[in-house]
Chain A
């Protein structure tokens, strides 16, 4: 700056105040920067240029400018930008001792000498929150690598803990203190990395309002889409997959669900049909509901169609519950639409919806009332990568069971085991459960004696239950699911593997496949 002064250039201090009503302060500030830079060079900016661009300032910002033009020209240039309330400026005298430049700004228009820095600070306490969503796009594979490294770190930490505990006799408290610290850091790191994978479903559902508008035109029905919970977060991989099924359901609601305007008028419903898309978190699940106030599912019509297509016989139809009938809709190539349109009616939709959601280990449920509307509920696990599990031991080997499938854990005396059709069952509070001896299934020797009580984990799939006989309960644990790879795919009842704290691999038993 001193050199600039020597070479005949002027150094100015300027404070720019943006109008209070201005919406895009950052954009205005940017234009000011640009205008001033045409006249000279901006050396210092308070707050920094980056913060100004991110709108991290209240209404004013202060600049130090080197320019060959005189002060008025520079001020004019800045004032030419619209929505700028006031631009003040002063020539900076460079004193002998080296002080901060921004503190030497003298105001020309304000007689009272006020330090620019001091003036700027009181107002800056109310820095408005940045409105822009600041995100970085990252390849999911890089996150997986990061995740693996964190798991490795935890394993390394655990072995370190084991080593220090071995010579605990002479170890000093400093080491164990640091070890605790390391433990909390790795745990937090682990959690953060897990969270990084979560993204709001917003990115997927954002395109739906437009789709509904288009459908509304195409079908000649008036309809409105109401969405809530767009900020609900799901694992990235789930979010990527969930778009198509949701789209199918929305199209279904728009085409099959909502009635034509005349019918709606007859039924005393508002002319404009409503479709709701609600997402919310429910414990370890995320629930997405697609709801409409349309016709609902005509169970009799579905039955008729099913009989026509000889999917079921008329006797079967007699005894089927409404729920069973609605489930027929999910069969491949089943459609009740009288004609095939380009919106729907090809009988592919719901079949695909269900298989896709089941592939994401979620489930779909339908509730419907004729003439009132229907609700499609999709329940998805929060993340595919992490589940709560029960660790069990069978014949010295460790296995993980998903906690979601487990109903109860029972201590059963041997004498309570009965034989029905040569299969072992137990009578548990009135319901008869088949027993599955995991050690037989997994080809290992049980380590338990013949006279001990059996530990039975009761698992449930739909309406069916079964008891799994294990050797020992090891406790509950949050586990990261890893694929076993394509190489081992014969194993039906093993859904994956996980790496335990000590680096050991434990297999995850798929309770659903066991029943």
Chain B
């Protein structure tokens, strides 16, 4: 939050962030839009042998070979069933370059202010360790804000 003094009054300027809302099973997740490079439809994927199960394979995105991971497998849900709405979100990561994540559906883009996002306390993270950094409230729905670290290499030993 940032405070600015305008006409002698103290105004609190809230910082807004845009999130892409995706669906995985029954749950909605939000991904900070600044990490998103692109959203593509499901396409032919080449399996890579001897890698952790959540790495589904690699795709050709405009001449670039990009690994695709399955958030479902990563989060311990049942493996993806390809549907019409299945999309691959291409995320930009600093250390690993572009990485694609498979999601069941891309719903919308929402703008949430800081006050609308409840930070998850570190001790409340038993179930999905490190995946969610906050829960956003948008209209009547809850959106779990994903921690980008969950797709990074650190957790690859899983």
Please give the residue numbers on chain A whose beta carbons come within 8 Å of chain B beta carbons, in ascending order: 147-149, 151-152, 155, 397, 441-444, 482-488, 490-491, 494, 497, 499, 503-507
Q: How far is the CB of B102 from chain A (nearest CB, A)?
A: 14
- Identify which of B45, B52, B63, B67 contacts A485 (C-beta below 8 A): B67
Please determine whether A148 and B65 come into contact, CB atoms closer than 8 angstroms: no
Please determine whether A486 and B65 come into contact, CB atoms closer than 8 angstroms: no
Please determine whether A488 and B97 come into contact, CB atoms closer than 8 angstroms: no
Please determine whether B96 and A505 come into contact, CB atoms closer than 8 angstroms: no
Q: How far is the CB of A287 from chain B (nearest CB, A)?
A: 31
- Identify which of B45, B65, B98, B153 contacts A482 (C-beta below 8 A): B65
Tally of B interface residues using CB under 8 Å: 26
From B46, which residue of chain A is reached at the shortest CB distance? A505
The answer to whether the Cβ of B59 comes within 8 Å of any Cβ in the partner chain is: yes
Which chain B positions have C-beta within 8 A of A397?
46-47
The answer to whether the Cβ of B13 comes within 8 Å of any Cβ in the partner chain is: no
Please determine whether B97 and A148 come into contact, CB atoms closer than 8 angstroms: no
Please determine whether A490 and B156 come into contact, CB atoms closer than 8 angstroms: yes
Most buried by A among B48, B55, B97: B48
Please determine whether A148 and B63 come into contact, CB atoms closer than 8 angstroms: yes
- Identify which of B50, B55, B60, B98 contacts A505 (C-beta below 8 A): B60
Which chain B positions have C-beta within 8 A of A485?
65-67, 96-99
Which chain A positions have C-beta within 8 A of B127?
none
Once the chains are docked, how many angstroms separate the CA of A499 from the CA of B43? 14
Please determine whether A484 and B156 come into contact, CB atoms closer than 8 angstroms: no
Interface string of B40-76 (1 = CB under 8 A from A): 0000111111111001001110111111000000000
Q: How far is the CB of A23 from chain B (nearest CB, A)?
A: 48
From B157, which residue of chain A is reached at the shortest CB distance? A490
Please determine whether A505 and B153 come into contact, CB atoms closer than 8 angstroms: no
Q: How far is the CB of B59 from chain A (nearest CB, A)?
A: 7
- Identify which of B60, B95, B96, B97 contacts A503 (C-beta below 8 A): B60
Please determine whether B67 and A152 come into contact, CB atoms closer than 8 angstroms: no
Please determine whether B96 and A487 come into contact, CB atoms closer than 8 angstroms: yes
Once the chains are docked, how many angstroms separate the CA of A482 from the CA of B48? 14
Please determine whether A488 and B55 come into contact, CB atoms closer than 8 angstroms: yes
- Identify which of A155, A442, A487 contacts B49 (C-beta below 8 A): A442
Please determine whether A505 and B59 come into contact, CB atoms closer than 8 angstroms: yes
Whether A490 contacts B50 in the complex (CB less than 8 A), given A497-B58, A504-B60, comes out as: yes
Once the chains are docked, how many angstroms separate the CA of A506 from the CA of B46? 7
Please determine whether B50 and A443 come into contact, CB atoms closer than 8 angstroms: yes
Which chain B positions have C-beta within 8 A of A444?
49
Which chain A positions have C-beta within 8 A of B51?
488, 490-491
Please determine whether A443 and B49 come into contact, CB atoms closer than 8 angstroms: yes
Q: How far is the CB of A110 from chain B (nearest CB, A)?
A: 63
Please determine whether B63 and A151 come into contact, CB atoms closer than 8 angstroms: yes
Please determine whether A486 and B153 come into contact, CB atoms closer than 8 angstroms: yes
Please determine whether B63 and A488 come into contact, CB atoms closer than 8 angstroms: no
Once the chains are docked, how many angstroms separate the CA of A206 from the CA of B85? 59
Which chain B positions have C-beta within 8 A of A497?
46, 58, 65
Once the chains are docked, how many angstroms separate the CA of A151 from the CA of B61? 11
Please determine whether A483 and B65 come into contact, CB atoms closer than 8 angstroms: yes
Q: How far is the CB of A91 from chain B (nearest CB, A)?
A: 62
Which chain B positions have C-beta within 8 A of A486?
95-97, 153
